[in-house]
Chains A and B, each alone.
Chain A
Amino acid sequence: MSALSSKHLLGIKDISKEDIQLIFKTAENFKEVINRPIKKVPSLRDITIANIFFENSTRTKISFELAEKRLSADIVNFNSGTSSVNKGETLVDTVNNILAMKVDMVVMRHPAPGAAKFLSRHIDANIINAGDGTHEHPTQALLDAYTLNEKLGSLKDKKILIVGDIIHSRVALSNIYCLQKLGAHVRVCGPPNLIPKYIESLGVEVNYNLEESLAWCDAANLLRIQLERQDDKYFPSLREYSLQYGINQEVLDRINKDIIIMHPGPINRGVEITSQVADSNQSVILNQVENGVAIRMAILYLLTSN
């Protein structure tokens, strides 16, 4: 296996296990690069990348920007808030105009599920999906799986729990595809109305009891309660959610098992996870952030040469 099977990264569903392994292997090399005294390599020096964000982002955007800069790419940033999108321009027109300025690659976040795929059909550039609505967030899933792989050695037959707001989470869906492709067993846990109907058809287990699920798993990925997507009331209050599905040191002490705690950020401290747990040795949250840059460098590098 020496090249990715696709010229875009739209979702984990569309890529193969071999693609994921190639990305991980390449990320390993980039992790070494970002720990050097000089963290920059010239590979993408003749590439221009547009980062198009129609939704807010801190981590993903900074992580992509750093990855691009460390590969020596030229970048243009576009935020929908300050652009002509507000004047009624369509997505294809906006992006085509940017591409007319000779951009080779587009990293896009958009609130509409399928936006990246739509774009890939209309535009002649490599597209990387940096999150499309409640659909997929492939780079997050890859960096989560890479971090777990690092900690657990391999994901084969490992038990991974995803806790929280599954129904609104693109991280959950991408994680499920990614973890399963690497041979892990996935269980989801959360309030019943935040877990989609028929999710079992993806081959995941569903359990509504947090403590039981934590005792089952090797690693738990805690999702953020997406306050911006809670127009309908899915649970009575944050306090109640926290009492039933928040992870605190007492719960971890009770299960008495050294599980890995992950969170894609941003953390609602005191809601899905207490500060004590987030900052503990079991938490790999900051490793996820570091690995995010390496994973994104690997994806940019592999897609550009594809």
Chain B
Amino acid sequence: MKKVILEYKHVELIITRIAHQLVENHGSFENTAILALQPRGPFFGKVLAKKIKSLFEIDVNYGELDTTFYRDDFRRNNKQLIPNEVNIDFNIENKHIILVDDVLYTGRSIRAALDAINAYGRPKSVELVTLINRKYNREVPIQPDYTGEDIDTRANDYVKVDWKDDQCRVWIITDKTE
């Protein structure tokens, strides 16, 4: 079964809310940067950076981080892990880093991201923004600081975040075999 759980309008409101929350905590973003996690995070990260710019006239340091080489399932599944591009054109040493990803599920990508960041320097702090938080499937003790929507899912469910021209709809696809 497939159903929409967040419509375009709803996601738009969420992005506006998170933009406000981030500015509330990070002010002018002078010493703060957004790092979106490849491959799906940049859709959300870019829109969030644009929103902060349009609402508050703040140019956010924005980068994209790939965690492939730090994943803990390398050689442990049949799929070859193909790396994605890294785009970080600022120094992250001593910066407040806001990690952005679309769905927080097992938490393992975020664990890998925390390792990956260290290759570029020591951030002053790291926070996590996620559009969808799948609450009951965590395999490591990692929680988001800013959440778009908490949802209850079973492990067999699939959450699809569908971006189209900076707009987004979120689907949940439940396992047909059950």
Contacts and interface: CB of A to CB of B under 8 A. Distances in A.
B80 A29 contact: no
Given A29-B85, A41-B70, A42-B70, A305 B119 contact: no
A306 B85 CA distance: 21
A305 B66 contact: no
Given A43-B74, A306-B80, A38 B118 contact: yes
B119 A26 contact: no
A77 to B, nearest CB: 24
Interface-central residue, A22, A26, A37, by most chain B CB under 10 Å: A37
A146 to B, nearest CB: 16
Residues of B contacting A: mostly: loop
Contact of A41 (B69, B79, B82): B69
Interface string A41-57: 11100100000000000
Interface-central residue, A25, A32, A40, by most chain B CB under 10 Å: A32
Interface string B53-90: 00000000000001011100011000111111110000
Interface residues of A, number: 22
Contacts, number: 47
A32 B119 CA distance: 11
Interface-central residue, B75, B83, B84, B119, by most chain A CB under 10 Å: B83
Contact of B69 (A2, A28, A33, A306): A33
B120 interface: yes
Contacts of A2: 79-80, 82
B115 A42 contact: yes
Given A29-B66, A29-B85, A37 B119 contact: yes
Interface string A18-36: 0000100110110011001
Contacts of A22: 82
B116 to A, nearest CB: 8
Interface of A: 2-3, 22, 25-26, 28-29, 32-33, 36-38, 40-43, 46, 301-302, 304-306
7 contacts: A3-B80, A26-B82, A29-B84, A29-B86, A38-B120, A41-B69, A41-B70
Given A29-B69, A29-B85, A36-B120, 19 more contacts: A2-B80, A25-B82, A29-B68, A29-B84, A32-B85, A32-B86, A33-B119, A37-B120, A38-B118, A38-B119, A41-B70, A41-B119, A42-B70, A46-B75, A301-B69, A305-B75, A305-B80, A305-B81, A306-B80
